[in-house]
Amino acid sequence: MTWSGITIEGLVIILSILMAFGIDAWWSARQARVEEREAIAQLATDFRSNAARLDTIRSMHEAALEASYEILARAGMRGEPRGDQRTAELVWHSLRAWTYAPVLGGINSLVQSGQLDLLRNDSLRVAVAGWPDIVEDLNGDELLENENTFRRLAPHLIARGAMHAYR
């Protein structure tokens, strides 16, 4: 075998190896994009579910607010609501403890598996990483507000006879 033959054979081997590395890198990048699309699709599904849940919770809170306004209107100048059936129903609606329990499947999957780097968009990656903490803070606030309502407001209304029918 001549030096030129050995050189050509070596170059073919080197090119084959480089092509294999290139194909492997291309395939890995393609797989990462497929995984990213799947993750984004799951996030979109979660967000649609959460939007529907938020709409429901918002409607419930609006109903509670309306009930609260009617309780205040029924209280009149005396500052105490009448102790009748309608007032009891209004109080019950105004004191219900609705909480927001978001769907976090896609987010938890990305965060807990350490695959946030699948998301190429930095802003999305940061928002997704921070979302569970925001939800936890808001849930804590909801629990404190519910506790405050049931520890302070409900006993006040019960003592004045406004909740007699729903005790």
pLDDT in tens, 16-33: 999 999 999 999 999 999
Residue type, 116: L
Coil, strand or helix at 105: helix
Q: Is residue 29 part of a domain?
A: no
| Distance separating alpha carbons of residues 155 and 91, to the nearest angstrom | 12
| Distance separating alpha carbons of residues 126 and 108, to the nearest angstrom | 14
Q: Is residue 45 part of a domain?
A: yes
Q: Is residue 31 part of a domain?
A: no
- Are the C-beta atoms of residues 98 and 143 closer than 8 Å to each other? no
| Distance separating alpha carbons of residues 48 and 103, to the nearest angstrom | 9
| Distance separating alpha carbons of residues 3 and 92, to the nearest angstrom | 94
Domain count for the chain, please give it: 1
Q: Is residue 3 part of a domain?
A: no
Q: What is the pLDDT of residue 82?
A: 61
More confident residue, 79 or 19: 19
Tell me the angle at which helices 85-95 and 3-75 cross, rounded to the nearest 10 degrees: 160
Q: Is residue 97 part of a domain?
A: yes
Q: Which domain holds residue 146?
A: 41-166
pTM of the model: 0.63
Dmax over CA atoms of the chain, in Å, equals 111
Q: Is residue 125 part of a domain?
A: yes
Q: Is residue 12 part of a domain?
A: no
Q: Is 24 exposed, middle or buried (0-12, 13-18, 19+ CB in 10 A)?
A: exposed
Q: Is residue 133 part of a domain?
A: yes
Write out pLDDT tens, residues 125-147: 999 888 888 888 888 888 888 77
